[in-house]
Amino acid sequence: MSDTKNLLVELFVEELPPKALKKLGEVFSQTLALSLKSQGLCDDAAAITAYASPRRLAVQVAAVRSRAADKPVSQKLMPAAVGLDASGNATPALLKKLAALGADASVVPQLRKESDGKADVLFFDSMAKGATLAEGLQKALDAALAALPIPKVMGYQLADGWSTVNFVRPAHGLVALHGSEVVPIAVLGLQAGNSTHGHRFEASVDPVVIKDADSYAQQLSSEGAVIASFAERRAEIARQLAAAAAKAGGQPIDDDALLDEVTALVERPNVLIGQFEEAFLDVPQECLILTMKANQKYFPLLDKAGKLTNKFLIVSNINPADPSAVIQGNERVVRPRLADAKFFFDQDRKKSLADRIPGLAKVVYHNKLGTQGERTQRVAAIASAIGAQLGGDPLSKQADQAALLAKADLLTDMVGEFPELQGIMGRYYALHDGLPGDIADAIEDHYKPRFAGDSLPRNRVGLVVALADKLETLVGMFGIGQTPTGDKDPFALRRHALGVIRMLTDGELSLELGTLLQTAMDAFEHSDISASIAIEKERSPRSVVSSSQYFAIETPTILADFIYERLAGSLREQGYSAQEVDAVVGLRPQRLGDIPKRLAAVRAFAALPEAESLAAANKRVGNILKKVDADVTAKIDAALLKEPAEAALNAALAQVKPQADAAFAKGDYTASLQALAALRAPVDQFFTDVMVNAEDPALRANRLGLLATLHEAMNRVADLSRLSA
C-alpha cells in the first residue's frame, strides 16, 4: 500500500501582476489538485489549501499517495470471427493488435468474448499500473501552468544563458514536498527542492528551508515574515484597517477591488495612518478619493457622515520600529497628486460647461455617427421629445438643457486625467455655474444605471436624459450594424438595453417602447450627419445609418427583439418561471412598466383551478386560427349560432369580455385575467359539442369569428397558451 502524506508545491517567482494574483492562485491550486484527483493520487474529498503572495503560487493537498492504485482496463480488440480462426487460434490480425498493447499469443486463452448485439467481440482485460507521484505531479504541474489566466507572457533566459522559457514573470524556485521528501519534478528550467525565500527585507533567515508540507505556512510566517495565504493576508489587512480607522476616528472606504489589489502587493501588511493639508478638502472628494486609490493604493478615511477627512491609511510592506519615515514618505508622495487635482478643479471652473459645448464638435464619437457634438444634439432631441411626453413643456426644456450639457465635462482637465469622473465632475461644474440642482443631478446621473444593481437617476430629468442617451447609442449602433456577437459587445449594448429596461420598469415610466425607438430614429433622420452618411451608404449599403429602408424598417424590429430578449433573460434571473416570462414577454407589451403587474397577474391566474383547462383551450384556439388561410375577423352573427354550446359561449363572452376589458383598461391585470375563469365550462362544452370546420362556409366563418373573439379576450394580459404543459 502506498504512503499517504500531505503534498506541498510552490513556484517562487518575481512580483506577479497584482490585479491577477487572486485568480492566478485559485486556478493554480484548483487545476493542480484536480489533476492529482483524476489520476487517483488523492481522493476527491481531499482538502486543498491555496497560497498566493506577490512572489509565490503554492498549494497544499491533503493525503496524497506516493503511487496511485492499479486500475483494471478492458480493451476492445476486434470481432471474434476476425481474431480467431476455425480452430480457435489467434489470427495474424489479432497477434498484431496484441503486440501493439504489449502482449503476445500467451494471453489469447484469457481473452474475454462478449456479444455486442450483432456478433461476439474479443476483449483484453489487464491491470494498468497506477502513476507514481513524480509522474502524476509533473503532469499536474504542467496542466496548472498551462491553465493560468495569463493575458501576456514574457520570455526570459535561464541561468545557462542559452535556454529561453515563457511565463507571466521569471520563476526562480520550485518546492515539491510529499511529507518531508522532495518529489523529483522540474518546470521552467527549475528542479524541485525544499527551500524558498521569504520577505525581501524582513526574513530572519534566507533561504527558508521547508521541513515538511505541513510546516510551510508557519515557517514562512516565523522565518520568512510572509503571510502566504491570500485569504489570511486579506483578512489581516481588513482587521488592521478597521483598527487604524477607529484610532483615527473615521472609517476606511469600502472597496473590495482595492483590498484585493493591496493584498496582492504586500507580503507582511502593516497599516499606518497618514494625513494631508485640510485645504485640499475644497476639491470634490470623488477626485481626491480616486487619486489616492488609483495612484497610491491608499484607503481614504471618511467620517461618520461619509465625508472625506484629511487622513488616509497606508498598507505598508515593512514594519520598522519607527514608522515615521514611511508615513512622511507617503505623505510627500500623495501631496503632488492632490495638488494636481486641485489645479485641475480650479482651472476647469474658469470656463462654464455651456462654453465647452462647441468643443464637442471636434471630438469624434464614431466615424459613421459623427462627433460628440452631433451626438449631443441627437440625445437632446430625444430627451426633449420624451420629456414632452412625460411632463409637458417644462420637463422637455429641462431635459433638453441637461442633455446638451451632459457631455461637456469630457473636455475638462479633471475628466481628461480621470475618465471615471465623467458626469460626476459635470455635476460639480454645473452647480458652480449656478444651474438648478435638477439639471446638475441629471448631468451626473445620465450614465446610470452603469451596471447591474446600480441606482437609477435620482429625478425625472435624469431619467429622461439617461433614457435618451442609451436609446441614441442603441439605435445608432444597431443602425450601422454594430450588434453584439457572441461574447463580444464593445459598445456595451447589452448593458444599455438592460438600463433602458430598468428605467422603464423600475422607473414606472408610461412610455411605449416602439414610440421611444421611433423617437430615437427620428433624431438620426434629422441630424447633420445625413449627407456624409449618404456617401457611405453607396460604399456599404447595410453598414451605415441613413433614411434608407434598412434603417427605417429593419433597425427598430431587430433592436426591439434584442431588448425583449434581454428583458426575458433578466426576468428569469429574478426568479420568474420560463412559462410566466414567455406568456407575458411573448405578447411584446409596449409599456415595459406594466410587465411586473402582468407577471403578478399571470402567477395569480395560474393558481386558479380553471387555469390549466383554459390555457390548453387557448393553445388549441391559436392552432386552429393559424391553419386558416384567410384572416379571421373577431366578429359574430348571433343568427348563425345553431348549436346550444356555441350560443352559450357567445353569451358567456358577452358577459365576461366587458368585465375583463374594463379591468385591463384600469391596469388591474389580475382582475382582468381572473374574470376569464368563468369561461372554462362554456369553452370546454364548445369543443365537446361543436364542429368548427363545418361544411357550410357561413357557419364555419362565424365559428372562427367566435374563436377569434375568445382568443382576443384571453390574450390581452398574456399569451395564456404558454402556460399549457
Q: How much is the average pLDDT of 554-571?
A: 88
What pLDDT shows up at residue 547? 38
The pTM assigned to this predicted structure is: 0.79
Could you tell me the pLDDT band of residue 617, with boundaries at 50, 70 and 90? confident
Q: Determine what percent of the chain is predicted with pLDDT higher than 90.
A: 62
What pLDDT shows up at residue 143? 94
Q: Is 530's pLDDT higher than 70?
A: no
Q: Determine what percent of the chain is predicted with pLDDT higher than 70.
A: 95
Q: Which residues pair with 57 in a beta bridge?
A: 11, 52
Contacts of 289 (CB under 8 A, 6+ apart): 253, 300, 308
Helix/strand number for the chain, H first, E second: 27, 20
Q: How much is the average pLDDT of 249-277?
A: 94
* Residue with more model confidence, 637 or 436: 436
Q: How much is the average pLDDT of 523-549?
A: 49
Q: Is 542's pLDDT higher than 70?
A: no
Q: Is 75's pLDDT higher than 90?
A: no
pLDDT digits (tens, 9 = 90+) for 294-350: 889 999 999 999 999 999 999 999 999 899 999 999 999 999 999 999 999 999 999
Q: Is 552's pLDDT higher than 50?
A: no
The string over 170-201, giving b where at least 16 C-beta atoms fall within 10 Å of a residue's C-beta and e elsewhere, is ebebbbbbbbeeebebebbebebbbebbbbee
* Residue with more model confidence, 692 or 33: 33
Tell me the average pLDDT of the chain: 89
C-alpha to C-alpha distance for 315 and 140, rounded to whole angstroms: 35
Domain 4-68+132-222 has CATH 3.40.1350: no
Asked if 223 and 232 touch (Cβ cutoff 8 Å), the reply is no
What pLDDT shows up at residue 534? 43
pLDDT digits (tens, 9 = 90+) for 658-697: 999 999 999 899 999 999 889 889 988 988 888 888 888 8
Asked if 314 and 331 touch (Cβ cutoff 8 Å), the reply is no
C-alpha to C-alpha distance for 516 and 2, rounded to whole angstroms: 71
pLDDT-wise least confident of 78-82, 115-119, 259-263: 115-119
Report the residue count for the chain: 725
Asked if 438 and 420 touch (Cβ cutoff 8 Å), the reply is no
What pLDDT shows up at residue 81? 81
In three-state secondary structure terms, 708 is helix
Could you tell me the pLDDT band of residue 243, with boundaries at 50, 70 and 90? very high
Each as own residue / partner, the long-range contacts of residues 163-169 (CB below 8 Å, 24 or more positions apart, any chain) are 163/189, 165/189, 167/13, 168/13, 168/16, 168/17, 168/20, 168/24, 169/13, 169/14, 169/15, 169/16, 169/17
Q: How much is the average pLDDT of 144-155?
A: 89
Cα Rg, the chain, nearest whole Å: 36
As assigned by CATH, the class of the 600-723 domain is mainly alpha
Asked if 492 and 498 touch (Cβ cutoff 8 Å), the reply is no
pLDDT digits (tens, 9 = 90+) for 471-492: 999 999 988 888 888 888 889 9
Q: Is 572's pLDDT higher than 70?
A: yes
184 DSSP assignment: -
In three-state secondary structure terms, 233 is helix
C-alpha cell at 223: 522565518
What pLDDT shows up at residue 77? 82
Could you tell me the pLDDT band of residue 539, with boundaries at 50, 70 and 90? very low
pLDDT digits (tens, 9 = 90+) for 93-108: 888 888 888 788 788 7
What pLDDT shows up at residue 527? 62
C-alpha cell at 475: 439605435
Domain range summary for the chain, segments of one domain joined by +: 4-68+132-222, 71-128, 230-348, 393-575, 600-723
Q: Is 645's pLDDT higher than 50?
A: yes
What pLDDT shows up at residue 97? 86
What pLDDT shows up at residue 528? 54
